[in-house]
A and B are shown apart, each in its own frame.
Chain A
Amino acid sequence: MVESFFIVIRDFIAQPWPWYVAGPLLAFVMFILLYFGHEFGISESFRLMCAADGADKMNEFFKINWRAGEWNLLVALGAVFGGYLASHYFLGSHGDIAHVGNATVESLNNIGIPVKLGAVPLVPDFISWNGLLTGPGLLMIAGGGLLVGFGARYAGGCTSGHAISGLSALQLPSLVAVIGFFIGGLFVTYFIIPYLF
């Protein structure tokens, strides 16, 4: 009886979550962090980890009390656990797939990424250790990471800090940053990714 109750809960959580569940819950994460006395922003963790690794002795941008940012590192650590739990114990009946539509599948096929409708994996096979050994994979994983780390600190925030927290607080700078995210993202999606495959 108790066991079947847990199975019902597990199966409920394991379904793909629609946008109208995920979005308000992200706002709840922001709200609860504000209640704990902090502003939601994941990319700040990179700066904290640079400081903790000794960059504080090399450059004043990293002369921060990283211990005061410990909460941020713990949220990041929690996200690692969350990813483990969700992928190991709460997989839906179709497994690890991204439910993208036919238009996306067709445009992927057109640029040379062979995926089938209803069987698009969550993480593509070129985002892997084998993929990393190819030029495009290296550009996407290492190049992408480098640009994200540089750009997030330059812009003073990433998707969580600007698109969620900043826009929620009606910050014009965050709107400018989000417009920037889209200019950069559209450029890469239309003018770089099609030529990588």
Chain B
Amino acid sequence: MRMSRYIIVGILLGFILYKSEAVSWFRIYEMFRFQSFHMFGIIGSAVVAGILAVQLIKRKEMKNVLGKKITIKDKAKTYPRYLIGGIIFGMGWALAGACPAPMFILLGAGHTVFFVYFVAAMTGTFIYGLLRKRLPH
């Protein structure tokens, strides 16, 4: 029962990204061509609402379900990894037209070819693990 709540959150995530068409290759293409406000609106309004939520959490010192104060870890401030990793990720995002969450959603929608993307992404993650110490971070 305790774990089923995560499945429900995942189902909600699936509906949001499917019904807003953020899972569509064409919407990602459109975004990178700056031909519509749609995707920028989704990400932008999520960030605005998210900033308000995070500020509220901090000011009210909100506690989580376990009764502990909610804290958000600061990300390590070593910049090459974010820029280089980000560029590589962005290239994959534009090619496949789907980032990790849409991949899971489209698999569920019956586009079974995303299983190939899934195995490739696991392979990419594994290669990163092997090369990590030799890469600039």
Contacts and interface: CB of A to CB of B under 8 A. Distances in A.
Interface of A: 13-37, 39, 42-43, 45-47, 49-50, 53, 55, 59, 61-62, 70-72, 74-88, 90, 98-101, 103-104, 107-108, 115, 120-124, 127-129, 131-132, 139-156, 158-160, 162-174, 176-190, 192-193
B85 to A, nearest CB: 3
11 contacts: A17-B20, A36-B6, A43-B100, A80-B104, A84-B109, A104-B30, A148-B89, A174-B82, A181-B86, A187-B94, A193-B29
B99 A158 contact: yes
Contacts of B98: 144
A24 B45 CA distance: 6
A107 B11 contact: no
A46 B125 contact: yes
Contacts, number: 495
B107 A80 contact: yes
B10 A16 contact: no
B contact face: mostly helix, strand, loop, or mixed: helix
B32 A186 contact: yes
Contact of A61 (B76, B90, B129): B129
B93 A184 contact: yes
A170 B48 CA distance: 11
A62 B121 contact: no
B34 to A, nearest CB: 9
Contacts of A101: 30, 35-36
A94 to B, nearest CB: 11
B1 interface: no
Contacts of A76: 10, 101, 104
Looking at A47, A140, A183, A184, the one whose CB has the most chain B CB atoms below 10 A away is A184
- The list of the 8 closest CB pairs from A to B, nearest first, reads A82-B14, A78-B10, A180-B86, A184-B90, A168-B50, A149-B124, A144-B96, A155-B85
